[in-house]
Amino acid sequence: MDKKIIEFKENNTPYSTEFGDIYFSVDDGMAETEHVFLKGNRLPESWNDHKHIRICETGFGTGLNFFMAASLFEKTKKKGQKLFYTAIEKNPLKQEDILKSLEKWRDNFGDVFDIFLSKYPIRISGFHPIIIKPDIILVLIFDDIKDALLEVNDKQDFWFLDGFAPAQNPDMWQDDLYENMARLSHNQTRFATFTAAGMVKRGLENAGFEIEKIKGFGRKRDMLVGQFQSDQKRPQERETCKEYRIAGAGLAGLATGYLFAQLEQKVEIFEKHKDAQHNASSNKIGLISPRIGAERIPAYEYYNAAFALFNRENKEHLNQIGTLFEPDNETKSLRFEKFKNNMSWPSEAIEYKDKKILFKDAGTASPAALCAHYAQNLNVQFGQKIKGADIWATSYHQNFDSFDTQKVRGQVSYAIAENHNLEHVHSYGAYVAPINKDRISFGATFTHWDDSEGVTEKDHAYNLEKLKLAHDDIKIEDGWAGFRCASKDRLPIIGPHEDGYINIAHGSHGMISSLAAAFILAYYEGLLPQPFSKTVLEAVSPQRYTKDK
């Protein structure tokens, strides 16, 4: 992610040093986008009747095409219409380079540009859903098009084909691109591309697109536009506003309610306890951190996408002091080493310090404060144990044994530690996190099938023993204990099940995972474009337990 991939030409037009091509016309990038991608796709006329307009772009670059499409959408949208824009990019630009490239046009893009910059994802591979506005949702997929398209499920209405010129970037313009476009198209799907290269024309034709050659932009003689030929009808959209009954007012239920309400749905939340003090989400302070993986397994993809999502959507609730991970055994050392070699995290988000890894965007947040924030404008009814719900956010399903889940007791200790000098959260198997300049939180215990409630001295003693900090001036003041619900594969369980959606087993990562879960359920309800890869959706689905039975 850190290699230098661009230079700036006249008018701050970005130029790719890797492909030897410009990102957009030096003369007038906006006019080019309008001609090639908007008019080429007959927009806005062609999207007039679509409630949810689905555009997929190959090669997001600076986002110029997205900003132009979003501006057109804002000018022409009808009541209830939404723009679902998915864009793939294998070399995401730094935020400052996007700003430099597009600053001159900023006023044309309204607040979409500023919102986008404020929510620009950490540049790590994978899916990054971004709510620009309730009716403009962008999903950035940072990956090579070859891998990314295989992970997309939803049929698209429009394709913006904007990789560099086929002569400079032949790897992108291959049959697998056209075949996947065909898989993801219906009989009204249109495409437009700046190129008129014979290999692109043939590829698209062979995949089932009817092609038209029209006048290209500026000095370019021709370009291609067309429509997919098929008897596959455009999928029907869901009802716009529904009422959802959610069981459980912990992080999972509240994050889902909060997102659904943001997406203009009605929600009612039912909580069996009389207040919010009795669940796993009532802790004062917890950690927000990514997961260190040796390879891109689904758990790595899920938790890191969820971490990046939390960083964007809940920035104001995140005390971003950084988390320093230190391996506490040989297996972890090896994993950290592989992570360093295999996963290219950008230097603005990570620092390698000998064998340790500092995640600069990680830190702490308060589960209890988050719950209060989510609940602010929601109708939460306490003291109501319900038997029927649309969404079960009840930590576990029916009992801890169902879906192979486990009950894991945990206790954190809060202490006075004057002059603790902790700059970051320190995670080394156990962890210690600064609460403020003279207080710390540390722990946590992890005890399977221990039902005892409340804080115990035994667990404080255990936490103290594990604490990596000079002990002399530490005075334990208090603590907090709760029960995690963890699945055997350490992934949450999110998706449709026989008695409604379930949203459970968020284990030790409830704060980031509950927000990701909310996005997944909103997607299943047709309120968002696909927020995570097909692999991740399958990996967290309840169907993983029933598939082979």
Ligand X SMILES: Cc1cc2nc3c(=O)[nH]c(=O)nc-3n(C[C@H](O)[C@H](O)[C@H](O)COP(=O)(O)OP(=O)(O)OC[C@H]3O[C@@H](n4cnc5c(N)ncnc54)[C@H](O)[C@@H]3O)c2cc1C
Ligand Y SMILES: C[S@@+](CC[C@H](N)C(=O)[O-])C[C@H]1O[C@@H](n2cnc3c(N)ncnc32)[C@H](O)[C@@H]1O
Count of CB atoms within 10 A of residue 547's CB? 9
Residue 271 interaction partner, one of ligand X, ligand Y, none, beta carbon < 5-8 Å per kind: ligand X
210-218: long-range contacts, CB 8 A cutoff, minimum separation 24: 214/40, 216/36, 217/25, 217/31, 217/32, 217/35, 217/36, 218/25, 218/27, 218/28, 218/32
138 lies in the binding site for ligand Y (CB under 6 A): no
Size of the site for ligand X (CB under 6 A): 39
Nearer to ligand X, 98 or 251 (CB): 251
256 lies in the binding site for ligand X (CB under 6 A): no
88 lies in the binding site for ligand Y (CB under 6 A): yes
Residue 279 interaction partner, one of ligand X, ligand Y, none, beta carbon < 5-8 Å per kind: ligand X
C-alpha of 318 from chain center: 16
Do the beta carbons of residue 131 and residue 28 sit within 8 Å? no
Q: Give residue for tokens 């203009």.
A: 264
Residues whose CB falls within 8 Å of the CB of residue 274, separated by 6 or more in sequence, listed in order: 382, 383
145 lies in the binding site for ligand Y (CB under 6 A): yes
533 lies in the binding site for ligand X (CB under 6 A): no
Q: Which of 61-69, 226-234, 274-282, 366-374 is the region at the interface with ligand Y (rule: CB under 6 A)? A: 61-69
Nearer to ligand X, 29 or 367 (CB): 367
Residue 89 interaction partner, one of ligand X, ligand Y, none, beta carbon < 5-8 Å per kind: ligand Y
- Give min distance, CB of 381 to ligand X, in A: 9
- Give min distance, CB of 40 to ligand Y, in A: 13
249 lies in the binding site for ligand X (CB under 6 A): yes
Out of 81, 230, 320, 508, name the contact with ligand X by CB under 6 A. 508
Give the tokens for residue 412.
Answer: 């954190």
Residue 281 interaction partner, one of ligand X, ligand Y, none, beta carbon < 5-8 Å per kind: ligand X
Residue 253 interaction partner, one of ligand X, ligand Y, none, beta carbon < 5-8 Å per kind: ligand X
DSSP character at residue 446 = -
Give the tokens for residue 180.
Answer: 């996947």
89 lies in the binding site for ligand Y (CB under 6 A): yes
247 lies in the binding site for ligand X (CB under 6 A): yes
Residue 280 interaction partner, one of ligand X, ligand Y, none, beta carbon < 5-8 Å per kind: ligand X
- Give min distance, CB of 275 to ligand X, in A: 10
Alpha helices in 209-297 (DSSP H): 251-262
C-alpha of 142 from chain center: 11
Do the beta carbons of residue 504 and residue 491 sit within 8 Å? no
CA atoms within 13 A on the CB side of 516: 32
64 lies in the binding site for ligand Y (CB under 6 A): yes
What are the Cα distances from residue 399, in Å, to 208, 407, 485?
51, 9, 10
375 lies in the binding site for ligand X (CB under 6 A): no
- Residue 462 backbone zone (phi > 0: left; psi -120 to 50: alpha; other: beta): alpha
Q: Give residue for tokens 């169902």.
A: 402
Q: In whole angstroms, give the CA distance from residue 422 to residue 313.
A: 26
Site residues (CB under 6 A) for ligand X? 247-253, 270-273, 279-281, 283, 286-287, 367, 385-386, 393-395, 410-412, 444, 482-484, 504, 506-512, 514
